[in-house]
Copies of this chain bind each other. A is one copy, B any other.
Amino acid sequence: MLTPPAALLSLLFTSGNAVPKKDVSKVLGCNHEDLSKAISVLHESLEGTGLAVIETEADLELRTAPEAMEIVQKFRESEVSKDLGKAGLETLAAIAYRTGSTRGEIDWIRGVNSSASLRTLLLRGLIEGKEDPSDKRRIRYSITTEALAYLGVTKVEQLPRFDELSKESEQVVLETSKNEEVRSST
């Protein structure tokens, strides 16, 4: 079993953003006082670890410690100055030539999982994701105008061999729906 501070840490870690204390209390099944105790133990145990809990009146959030700012900054810079690489270029291409692709569709076109590449492209401002109006859990991706400008075009249709490659991608995605049927029937 996890101790209350450990349970708290794992909750904050997975939520990513600030979390209302009252939600945490509810999940942990503890009262305000117990939570305060857990928070202060966690504070202490995080000392010197590179992480820290930010506490406001109502919320809790896990962040990197202030001492880590410099190294984190350096890391971020190195991450965004890296080449996109094969995976990154493939993922961006799949989106550029087929605006509104979902992650599943990109995965299917590439034959491998694309979540990590999508995150990187989002962070670098090369793509953006929007909720599908008909299904809010589904995110549809498109290339950003900045990225297009960088590529020297004003719209995706001006990309080389656009008609041919976008049509082919479309066909591949059509297979997906067939494949989904297959998978769900097993």
B-binding residues in A (CB < 8 A): 1-3, 5-11, 13-18, 23, 26-28, 45, 48-51, 62, 64-65, 67-68, 71-72, 74-76, 78-79, 82, 85, 107-108, 111-113, 115-116, 119-120, 122-125, 128-129, 146, 186
Contacts and interface: CB of A to CB of B under 8 A. Distances in A.
A13 B62 CA distance: 9
A51 B50 CA distance: 13
Nearest to A112: B122
A72 B11 contact: yes
A112 B85 CA distance: 18
Contacts of A13: 13, 50-51, 62, 64
A92 B104 CA distance: 21
Contact of A79 (B23, B71, B128): B23
Contact of A10 (B16, B27, B45, B65): B65
B2 A74 contact: no
15 contacts: A1-B67, A2-B48, A7-B50, A10-B65, A10-B72, A13-B13, A13-B64, A15-B75, A17-B120, A27-B71, A27-B78, A28-B71, A85-B186, A113-B123, A116-B125
